[in-house]
Structure 1
């Protein structure tokens, strides 16, 4: 039985607009009892908020079907030092994940970790505070490396753009958690509970979804509903050296191909 690790923006929706056929694809997974997990590099939302957003665009979702880069970052730090003190640069999804994992966020104490995600109130003061802690020995954990974020057909600076300034000033390389990092991929595979050879990683981004799936030795399917089109996909495959197992115009075509191949 196949399982699926599903990207969100560009694969199931565009910002606050559903992608045609996405809800039907999830219904097809449920009908066939194929296990799946929504895996997102977005660290700003809680799993409950991610599920609510999916429901808003007409896609069935529960919080326990979601794995965010914020959750994965908290899991990683807990493995390194349970109950440590964290200096946090991020939004509510990251803050709640860190606190739920048992970490402290006491700015008066030395930090064991600086954990950073998207932060739309990022400031020079936060930059200086992070750099000071990193240069004093804190470990740097980055939820995801995305320099730009798509939102309603526009691109906005992402967590990776903030990280660039912190890396430069602190002369410290972060541990990257989100796709294409094997850290989030391995957590997702473990939660799905299937051998990696039975899992399809589905997304619209070669450098995150597909690279992460290839590195995890899963099946990979690129859908052309987000970043790439039939006219541009081969150029980007040549540029990145990343070739997915399947290239589909949309999720319905992916379902049809998998059904015809007996997957």
Structure 2
């Protein structure tokens, strides 16, 4: 097995499934920490801020990390919005379909989330999504707002099973408006390239670890880094065998991987 100097690691389906613990994942993180190998949890989950992710890992999974170990699609989206608004000379206003974790990081980036005619519409996973929210977003996009999707996950793994993800909401707006969104999170490589820069390591020394071929693995491939697919979440061996390009590594459990 190749030895990597840095790891980018998915959360949902890789480290846990909802509140379900993955003991092998806990042992994997402990091995990284014992060997002083830097890592970032790179997650498409936009519902939480880094502090919430850290607290969830500690309280529910006995995994103890720092906020600096977390990089979310929400953080990447806020960074993209700020850069795009400056580059395009657009107002820093946004209508956000999403949870408070996403709204908070976008607000911290200097955006007004309450203006009637927003320059941006950001769509993400929203546990309280309503027809009215979708109607407002549809109208704003039709009127010229830039359409941003945080990530394309059609499903998210939970203790209840596979539930609709952000991609399902984004696709509804795409279908309604006939406008293609700018996608920020995995499988887009933007979030991965940002994360690699945060590790301060060469790309060929970093590996992307995840359970979902369509998001985690494709994002790593697009960013030009090695990939490690663990079969604990979304993707199955049968599905992956049908893909034209295989992950760099495939394992059944994170216990099978030596750091």
What band does the TM-score fall into relative to the shorter chain? over 0.9
Q: Which residue of 1 aligns with 2:144?
A: 137
**Does 2:47 correspond to 1:44?**
yes
CA distance in 2 between partners of 1:171 and 1:125 (Å): 19
Q: Which residue of 2 aligns with 1:122?
A: 129
Cα deviation per residue 1:151-176 (whole Å; 9 max; x = unaligned)? 01511111111112211111111011
Contact in 2 for aligned 1:86/1:115 (Cα 8 Å): yes
Aligned pairs (5 A) from 1:51-62: 51-56=54-59, 57-62=61-66
Contact in 2 for aligned 1:222/1:246 (Cα 8 Å): yes
Unpaired runs of at least 5, structure 1? 259-263
**CA 1:176 to 1:225, structure 2 compared with 1: closer, same or farther past 3 Å?**
same
Q: Which residue of 1 aligns with 2:101?
A: 93
Q: Moved runs in structure 1, 4+ residues, more than 4 A?
A: none
**Secondary structure of 2:186's aligned partner:** coil
Contact in 2 for aligned 1:211/1:242 (Cα 8 Å): no
Q: Which residue of 2 aligns with 1:78?
A: 82
Q: Which residue of 2 aligns with 1:214?
A: 221
CA distance in 2 between partners of 1:126 and 1:92 (Å): 15
**Secondary structure of 1:240's aligned partner:** coil
CA drift at 1:226: 2.0
CA drift at 1:72: 0.7
Cα deviation per residue 1:130-168 (whole Å; 9 max; x = unaligned)? 111111111111011111111015111111111122111
Cα deviation per residue 1:104-151 (whole Å; 9 max; x = unaligned)? 11233x211101111121112111111111111111110111111110
Q: Which residue of 2 aligns with 1:248?
A: 251
CA drift at 1:11: 1.2
Aligned pairs (5 A) from 1:179-198: 179-198=186-205
Unpaired runs of at least 5, structure 2? none
**Secondary structure of 1:21's aligned partner:** helix
**Secondary structure of 2:106's aligned partner:** helix
CA distance in 1 between partners of 2:129 and 2:252 (Å): 37
TM-score of the superposed pair, with normalisation by structure 2: 0.92
Cα deviation per residue 1:169-189 (whole Å; 9 max; x = unaligned)? 111110111111011111111
Contact in 2 for aligned 1:200/1:218 (Cα 8 Å): yes
CA distance in 2 between partners of 1:168 and 1:209 (Å): 25
**Does 2:19 correspond to 1:16?**
yes
TM-score of the superposed pair, with normalisation by structure 1: 0.91
CA distance in 2 between partners of 1:114 and 1:225 (Å): 33
CA drift at 1:241: 2.2
CA distance in 2 between partners of 1:202 and 1:19 (Å): 15
Q: Which residue of 2 aligns with 1:236?
A: 239
CA distance in 2 between partners of 1:119 and 1:227 (Å): 20
CA drift at 1:227: 2.8
